[in-house]
Amino acid sequence: MNELTHKWQECQRILKENMTSSAYQTWFAPIVPVSYENSTLVLRVKSQFIAEYIEENYVQLLSRVLFRVFGIGTHLEYRALVDSTTGAGAIIPSDGLNVEKVRKQNELETEFHSSSPVEFESQLNSSYTFDNFVAGEPNKLARTAGLAITKQPGYTAFNPLFIYGGSGVGKTHLAYAIGNQIRLLHPDKKVLYVTANTFKLQYQAASVNKHIPDFLNFYQSVDVLIVDDIQYFSGLDKTQDTFFHIFNYLQQSHKQLILTSDRSPMDLKDIEDRLLTRFKWGLVAELESPDLALRRDILIYKMRHEGIELHDEQIDYIATHVTNSIRDLEGVLASLLAYSTLMAQPIDQTLTEHVVGRVVHIKPKTIELVDIIGAVSEHFNIPSRMITGKTRSQEVTQARHLAMYLAKKMTDHSLKEIGDSMGHRNHATVIHAVSCITQQLDENEILQKRIYQIKAALQR
């Protein structure tokens, strides 16, 4: 080993002791000493950016190290690789090596001190997991990709994983779930959750206090970085710029990035193109608004976990009316629970409708006679014309009676109008049908169920 290499290794050893290992790995480990002649040390760096970064952030430390190892008064030049094939590069003289300044500083601090590694907290909320994330068609892609990531963070094609969707559809829950699962499967990995807003505030504080290197070191030291609500980077040029460097660094070192947003990369406003392009490098997965099946499943799941009892009719009512946000579904359950405990009253349909009415604006749906005939015909799987026709088979008669009963209960039409619409029957026939059904209703559970199902279909 020649003397230059030997001396540079000694410099690297001291540098390493005086910064976090990720900072060292990023900025100093890749440097190769080129020559040391006439008191000038030439170091090869990968890019001009690296040279500038070191000049701006580490020159004090570097000069102290160089003066100690190579001698006071050493000059420094960086050679930045411009073209990796020819090795031709720009020469950047260091203007930061100032003997006087360093001498003074050395008098004050006789020894290098090692900066203690930043305390690490993942900031994950451990109550959001895959176990309590109800699976369904609208979240299938995002959930599956998330699970795949947890097995091999950083080494799947889903890097970054960009999850987007409207408010309350489960973005934060899923992001936490991925983070928590990674910690479970890979306890040695540093997982960090941060909202875009917090990132911005931290960056701004670091910038004011001149702690940008620490800030970068910290972010570059994580194995999994989750940034929630990235749309808040909109218009923040400097924050975006810094995030861009962190993103690149992490991505290139096979560290996993998970980003969430309230809209797709294509629809993000005032975010640099180079960031948008990178957001699309991995997988862009939409968390779609919950469909009826998922809303129902989530209600049933939460109901069991929160000890609320609801009848099918109420679950259906909530699931059909509270449609966009799972947060709203939870809100309804929480209110129902509160009401029933405070008022010591069971959760019945009236209470359910009242609570749902406060969360969503329900426009009363007007139900027409034809709708009823249609719904009954669909339920019994009998053509409408048979209901309004002459057939007197038992099933058709029951269907017809039911249609008349529902028409009486659910519309304001007169008995005559109802009779007319059901194949020109007179009002006495309608009265008979309604009383028939009413009489059976108490004891006939199948009939109760039919009515409930047809009503539910009509409400949709």
Q: What is the smallest separation between the CB atom of 264 and Mg ion, expressed in angstroms?
A: 16
DSSP 8-state secondary structure symbol assigned to residue 289:
P
Question: Of 140 and 379, which CB lies nearer to ligand ADP in the complex structure?
Answer: 140
298 touching ligand ADP, by CB under 6 A: yes
Report the residue number whose CB is nearest to Mg ion: 172
Question: Of 140 and 327, which CB lies nearer to Mg ion in the complex structure?
Answer: 327
Q: Pick one of Mg ion, ligand ADP, none as the site partner of residue 169 (Cβ within 5 to 8 A by kind).
A: ligand ADP
Q: How many residues bind ligand ADP (CB under 6 A)?
A: 17
Q: What is the smallest separation between the CB atom of 130 and Mg ion, expressed in angstroms?
A: 17
Structure tokens at 241: 């710029």
Q: Binding residue for ligand ADP (CB under 6 A) from 22, 63, 94, 139?
A: 139
Only one residue has tokens 């895959």, namely 130
Question: Of 330 and 371, which CB lies nearer to Mg ion in the complex structure?
Answer: 330
Question: Of 77 and 291, which CB lies nearer to ligand ADP in the complex structure?
Answer: 291
Q: State the number of CA atoms in the 13 A half-sphere of 432 facing the CB.
A: 9
Question: Of 55 and 328, which CB lies nearer to Mg ion in the complex structure?
Answer: 328
Q: State the number of CA atoms in the 13 A half-sphere of 317 facing the CB.
A: 23
Q: What is the smallest separation between the CB atom of 143 and ligand ADP, expressed in angstroms?
A: 8
Q: Pick one of ligand ADP, Mg ion, none as the site partner of residue 393 (Cβ within 5 to 8 A by kind).
A: none
Q: Taking Cα atoms as reference points, which of 439, 454, 352, 446 lies closest to residue 406?
A: 454
Segment near ligand ADP (CB under 6 A); pick from 11-19, 165-173, 209-217, 385-393: 165-173
Question: Of 15 and 287, which CB lies nearer to Mg ion in the complex structure?
Answer: 287
* CA atoms of 405 and 323, how far apart (whole Å): 30
Q: What is the smallest separation between the CB atom of 460 and ligand ADP, expressed in angstroms?
A: 22
Question: Of 119 and 131, which CB lies nearer to ligand ADP in the complex structure?
Answer: 131
286 touching ligand ADP, by CB under 6 A: no
Q: What is the smallest separation between the CB atom of 178 and ligand ADP, expressed in angstroms?
A: 12
* CA atoms of 109 and 102, how far apart (whole Å): 10
* CA atoms of 228 and 232, how far apart (whole Å): 9
Q: What is the smallest separation between the CB atom of 336 and ligand ADP, expressed in angstroms?
A: 16
Helix (H, G, I), strand (E, B) or coil at 307: coil
* CA atoms of 41 and 278, how far apart (whole Å): 37
Q: Which residues bind Mg ion (CB under 5 A)?
A: 171-172
* CA atoms of 46 and 38, how far apart (whole Å): 24
CA 403-405-406 angle, to 5 degrees, is 65
* CA atoms of 436 and 301, how far apart (whole Å): 38
Q: What is the smallest separation between the CB atom of 361 and ligand ADP, expressed in angstroms?
A: 20
Fill in the per-residue mask, 98 to 137: x = in contact with ligand ADP (CB under 6 A), - = not in contact.
------------------------------x---xxx---
Report the residue number whose CB is nearest to ligand ADP: 170
Q: What is the smallest separation between the CB atom of 308 and ligand ADP, expressed in angstroms?
A: 15
Question: What's the residue count for the chain?
Answer: 460
- Cβ-contact 80, 89 below 8 angstroms: yes
Question: Of 172 and 352, which CB lies nearer to Mg ion in the complex structure?
Answer: 172
Q: Binding residue for ligand ADP (CB under 6 A) from 52, 272, 313, 330?
A: 330
Q: What is the smallest separation between the CB atom of 226 and ligand ADP, expressed in angstroms?
A: 12
Site for ligand ADP in 215-254 (CB under 6 A): none
Question: Of 66 and 177, which CB lies nearer to ligand ADP in the complex structure?
Answer: 177
From its phi and psi, is residue 424 left (phi > 0), alpha (psi between -120 and 50) or beta? left
Structure tokens at 26: 């990023």
From its phi and psi, is residue 364 left (phi > 0), alpha (psi between -120 and 50) or beta? beta
326 touching ligand ADP, by CB under 6 A: yes
Question: Of 211 and 327, which CB lies nearer to ligand ADP in the complex structure?
Answer: 327
Q: List strand residue ranges (DSSP E) for 135-266, in order.
A: 161-164, 191-195, 224-228, 256-261
Q: Pick one of Mg ion, ligand ADP, none as the site partner of residue 211 (Cβ within 5 to 8 A by kind).
A: none
Q: What is the smallest separation between the CB atom of 159 and ligand ADP, expressed in angstroms?
A: 21
Rg (CA), the chain: 34
CA 24-28-30 angle, to 5 degrees, is 115
The total of other beta-carbon atoms located within 10 Å of residue 52's CB is: 14
327 touching ligand ADP, by CB under 6 A: yes
The residues pairing with 234 across neighbouring beta strands, listed in sequence order, are none
Site for ligand ADP in 167-186 (CB under 6 A): 167-173
In order, the DSSP letters of 73-138 are T-EEEEEEES-TTT--EEEEE-----HHHHHHHHHH--S--PPPPPP------TT--STTS---GG
Q: What is the smallest separation between the CB atom of 171 and ligand ADP, expressed in angstroms?
A: 3
Q: Taking Cα atoms as reference points, which of 24, 189, 193 lies closest to residue 117?
A: 24
Question: Of 172 and 242, which CB lies nearer to Mg ion in the complex structure?
Answer: 172
Given the rule CB under 6 A, which residues bind ligand ADP? 128, 132-134, 139, 165, 167-173, 298, 326-327, 330
